[in-house]
């Protein structure tokens, strides 16, 4: 390329760059660069590839101490409690650790789903304990304490041995032991982008039939009479004027309709 042509090309490129700059310069004076200190304070997310994970380590034993002081009151001594939140631990087996699939998820009769039955990424545990726990004092645990609590949880679930020390150096190895690490799929149509899933293709295809569509329908499920007031008196949960009014669920079915009419 001749030098004069190079000069013209350089000018064109400079103009193009200038145009791009001018575009954002429309909003001149709005926003400022974030400082490294600010970024460090807020950019706390940890991804499945462990980008964002701070250096550190914590043992199962130390995790037990932190757990009993700060976690057990909500989650139970063994992470089993259902009193405040859904149980964290339970429902996984040694075999699951080998296969990476929580087998009990295929059993509709198995009650409940614990966190360890579901979670496929250890980064999720680390990230969430770090950003949101304990419940009433989020972000108060040090990175070492987060490693320790994560190790203890996985030890409760029979995933890590009693003498394990979890750290940024071996967390990728611990990931390979998660009981449900192979339990996720993105083969569905509910991701609103092209990067995951099947591109938005729905999994059912209903037909908008208009006439004589189904066999005579029968009612398969309804709220039993003993539960009619379980959500409180529905008469007090609807506007008292209008086309319909709420049923008085403190009286038996049938009487409610009469009561509503009398109120008029």
Partner 1 sequence: MTDPNSQSHPAAGRVQKAPENFLDSVGVRAVHGEARAGRRDFIRNAFATALAAGAAPAVVAQVNPVPAAGGDASILELPAHTKGLGLGVATDGYGKPSKFEANVQRRQSPGLTQTQQSSVSFAPLQSLFGIVTPSGLHFERHHQGWWDIDPSKHRLMINGSDEKMVRTPMVFTMDELMRLPSVSRFHFIECGANTGMEWGNVTVPTCQYSHGMISCSEFTGVPLKVLLKMVGADTRRGRFVLAEGADGSSMTRTIPMEMVESGEVLVAYGQNGEMLRPENGYPLRLVVPGAQGVSWVKYLRRIEVGDMPYAAKDEAIHYIDLMPDGKHRQYTSIQECKSVVTTPSGGQVLLDKGYYQISGLAWSGRGKIKRVDVSVDGGRNWRTARLQGPVMDKCLSRFTLDWVWDGKPALIQSRAMDETGYVQPTNRLLRTVRGTRSIYHNNSIQTWLVQESGEVKNVQLS
Based on CB atoms, which residue is closest to partner 1, 65 or 128?
128
Q: Which of residues 80-119 bind partner 1 (CB under 8 A)?
A: 83-85, 101-103, 105-106, 108, 113, 115, 118-119
Question: Which residues are 85's β-sheet partners?
Answer: none
Residues 8, 9, 12, 47: which binds partner 1 (CB under 8 A)? 47
DSSP element (H, E) containing 65: helix 60-70
- Interface size with partner 1, residues (CB under 8 A): 107
112 contacts 104 by C-beta, under 8 angstroms: no
Name the 3-class secondary structure at 166. strand
151 contacts 175 by C-beta, under 8 angstroms: no
Q: Which stretch binds partner 1 (CB under 8 A): 33-41, 55-63, 145-153, 164-172?
A: 33-41
Q: Which of residues 114-173 bind partner 1 (CB under 8 A)?
A: 115, 118-121, 123-124, 127-128, 131-132, 135, 138-139
- Cα–Cα–Cα angle for 162, 166, 167, rounded to 5 degrees: 160
Taking the C-alpha atoms of residue 82 and residue 127, their distance in angstroms, rounded to an integer, is 22
247 contacts 256 by C-beta, under 8 angstroms: yes
- Should residue 33 be labelled a site residue for partner 1 when binding is judged by CB under 8 A? yes
At closest approach, how far in Å is the CB of 33 from partner 1?
A: 5
At closest approach, how far in Å is the CB of 150 from partner 1?
A: 13
Based on CB atoms, which residue is closest to partner 1, 163 or 192?
192
Taking the C-alpha atoms of residue 51 and residue 34, their distance in angstroms, rounded to an integer, is 20
Question: Which residues are 58's β-sheet partners?
Answer: 166
- Should residue 75 be labelled a site residue for partner 1 when binding is judged by CB under 8 A? no
Name the 3-class secondary structure at 57. strand
Based on CB atoms, which residue is closest to partner 1, 72 or 113?
113
At closest approach, how far in Å is the CB of 76 from partner 1?
A: 13
At closest approach, how far in Å is the CB of 161 from partner 1?
A: 24
Based on CB atoms, which residue is closest to partner 1, 161 or 200?
200
Quick count: other Cβ atoms within 10 Å of Cβ 256?
A: 19
Question: Which residues are 166's β-sheet partners?
Answer: 58
Q: How far is CA 233 from the centre of its chain?
A: 34
- Should residue 45 be labelled a site residue for partner 1 when binding is judged by CB under 8 A? yes
- Should residue 210 be labelled a site residue for partner 1 when binding is judged by CB under 8 A? yes
- Should residue 2 be labelled a site residue for partner 1 when binding is judged by CB under 8 A? no
Q: Which stretch binds partner 1 (CB under 8 A): 3-11, 159-167, 168-176, 241-249?
A: 241-249
Based on CB atoms, which residue is closest to partner 1, 172 or 184?
184
90 contacts 80 by C-beta, under 8 angstroms: yes
């Amino acid at each position: 390329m001749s030098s004069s042509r190079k000069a013209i090309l350089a000018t064109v490129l400079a103009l193009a760059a200038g145009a791009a700059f001018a575009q954002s310069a429309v909003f001149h004076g709005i926003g400022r660069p974030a400082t490294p200190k600010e970024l460090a304070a807020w950019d706390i997310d940890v991804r499945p590839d462990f980008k964002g994970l701070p250096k550190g380590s914590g043992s199962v034993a130390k995790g037990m101490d932190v757990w009993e002081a700060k976690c057990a009151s909500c989650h139970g001594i063994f992470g089993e409690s259902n009193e405040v939140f859904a149980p964290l631990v339970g429902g996984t087996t040694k075999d699951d650790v080998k296969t990476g699939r929580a087998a009990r998820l295929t059993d509709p009769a198995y009650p409940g789903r614990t966190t360890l039955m579901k979670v496929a990424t250890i980064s999720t545990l680390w990230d969430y304990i770090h950003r949101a726990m304990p419940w009433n004092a989020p972000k108060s645990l040090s990175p070492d304490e987060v490693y320790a609590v994560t190790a203890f949880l996985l030890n409760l679930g029979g995933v890590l041995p009693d003498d394990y020390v979890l750290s940024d150096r071996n967390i990728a190895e611990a990931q390979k032991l998660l009981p449900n690490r192979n339990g996720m799929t993105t083969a569905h149509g509910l991701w609103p982008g092209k990067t995951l899933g099947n591109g938005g293709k729905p999994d059912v295809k209903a037909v908008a039939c208009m006439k004589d569509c189904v066999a005579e329908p029968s009612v398969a499920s309804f709220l039993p009479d003993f539960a009619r007031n379980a959500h409180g008196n529905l008469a007090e949960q609807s506007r008292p004027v209008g086309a319909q009014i709420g049923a008085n669920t403190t009286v038996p079915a049938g009487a409610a309709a009469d009561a509503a009419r009398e109120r008029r």
